[in-house]
Chain A
Amino acid sequence: MDSAELIGMISIIMAGATVGIGAPITAIGEGWAVSRAMSALAQQPDAAPVISRTLFIGLAMTESSAIYCFVVSMILIFANPFWNYFAGLAGA
């Protein structure tokens, strides 16, 4: 197995693992936030605009860690720097 195959295989596995580990943990955190916001809304319906705005901002902040994982896996698949390097090396 030459280096290009090895890099391709590990990149694909890691791309899957990155999203597979990063997304569920973020989802758990977001689920917690939403559930607490729901109980806060049930207790104080008058504060709905403030609660939902804060919830949205918090969710966006939390969501960004899952987005980072997604971006990393996309880079691994579509714009892998090591792959291009070794492909150039093999071509030359």
Chain B
Amino acid sequence: MTITPDAIVYGQLGPFAINATLVFSWVVMALLVVGSWLVTRRLSTAASVSRGQLLLEIVLTTIRRQIRDVVDEDPDRYLPFIGTLFLFILVCNVLAIVPGFRPPTGSVSTTSALALCVFVAVPAFGIASRGLGGYLKSYLRPTPLMLPFNLLGEVTRTISLSIRLFGNMMSGTMIAAVALAIAPLFFPIIMNALGLLIGVIQAYIFSILALVFIASATQAHEEQAARTNHSEKEGTHG
């Protein structure tokens, strides 16, 4: 019983060990890219569309609606990043049900890489929408005394984002393995079903938290602007 898929090494490529995390990440990426390519090759607007197109449309619409619920603005700006995070983590977690597949999200390397993407994306989105000065000023809010805590919060929430996903997925794999050793007849099925549920919820949580962090970096300014303009815009808003 290995604690992370990093420990399963298939070969050596120069200085890099080709371990199960890498291989199964590539499998998931290939699955997502090839699947989407096969479906989007023949898009149609006819009355009857193919099943694949319908599936992708449902997924896309749901993600856009969820993003709109959180940020209350045009979701297309956040869709590429958040949607990619969600789909990648979701496919990784759900494929854990396939025998022999080790979910790459059960390794700290994958989850910390994903969390680092969020760590970089938050200032990127913030600067893109508020400018460098406006974004840096948000660290001094509500008072300059909060500066160390704001900086610390940036780091700790990245760590907690990665450890949360890793802990949940690793515990799912471990519990399944322990259950297989203690009560191999029927119990592992229930734990696997629970693992599927947890995997979907964690994919949702990870992307929603990433979205909340990004939205908090981009939106404080807009709210203030909206408040100052509120009196003149009141008629159009109502």
Contacts and interface: CB of A to CB of B under 8 A. Distances in A.
Interface stretch (B33-41, B133-141, B167-175): B167-175
A71 B167 contact: yes
Given A53-B69, A56-B208, A74 B164 contact: no
Interface string B162-199: 01101110110010000000000000000000000000
Contacts of B160: 61, 64
Interface residues of B, number: 20
Nearest to B206: A60
Interface string A51-68: 001001100110110011
B204 interface: yes
B205 interface: yes
A79 interface: yes
Contacts of A67: 163-164, 167-168, 171
B15 to A, nearest CB: 23
A50 B208 CA distance: 13
A53 B168 contact: no
From A57, A63, A67, A68, residue with most partner B Cβ within 10 Å = A67
B8 interface: no
Contacts of A56: 201, 204-205, 208
A71 B205 contact: no
Contacts of A88: none
Number of contact residues on A: which range applies?
10 to 19
Contacts of A79: 3
B212 interface: yes
A29 to B, nearest CB: 15
B164 A64 contact: yes
Given A64-B163, A67-B163, A74-B174, A57 B168 contact: no
A49 interface: yes
B209 interface: yes
Contact of B209 (A57, A70, A71): A57
A71 B69 contact: no
B170 to A, nearest CB: 7
Given A56-B201, A56-B208, A78-B3, A49 B167 contact: no
Contacts of B163: 64, 67-68, 71
A62 B170 CA distance: 18
A74 to B, nearest CB: 6
B163 to A, nearest CB: 6
A78 B174 CA distance: 11
Contacts of B171: 67, 70, 74
A70 B202 CA distance: 16
Interface of B: 1, 3, 69-70, 160, 163-164, 166-168, 170-171, 174, 201-202, 204-205, 208-209, 212
Interface of A: 49-50, 53, 56-57, 60-61, 63-64, 67-68, 70-71, 74, 78-79
Closest 6 CB pairs of A and B: A67-B167, A60-B205, A64-B164, A78-B3, A71-B167, A64-B160
